Amino acid sequence: MKLSAHASLTLQLLEWIAQRPRTYTELMGAWKTSCPRLAIWEDACTSGLVDCEPGAHGVVSVTAKGRQCLEAGVVAE
């Protein structure tokens, strides 16, 4: 099954966050390089795939729902 560009980028984001603890500032530095990537972050937040503690140094993490997507290799669009 071929993933859409959106789903592929979302899985890439989830994999990147799951590798190790990331701060919101680190995430924005790495993922706001282009508009589509920022939209991927926003969509992952609203879909409940990631969680972020408040503030610039808040830790970003993959939620249980996000981990299920990673394990399945698919993201609902």
Per-residue pLDDT of the chain (77 residues; tens, 9 = 90+): 688 888 999 999 999 999 998 999 998 888 766 656 678 888 999 999 999 999 889 999 999 999 999 999 988 76
The domains located in the chain, with CATH, are 9-72 (1.10.10.10)
Task: Say which residues have a Cβ less than 8 Å from residue 55's Cβ, sequence separation at least 6.
Answer: 24
Between CA 55 and CA 72 the distance in angstroms is 31
Helix or strand (DSSP H, E) at 71: helix 64-72
Could you tell me the pTM of the whole model? 0.86
Q: What is the pLDDT of residue 36?
A: 62
Rounded to whole angstroms, how far apart are CA atoms 72 and 67?
Answer: 9
**Residue 11 pLDDT:** 94
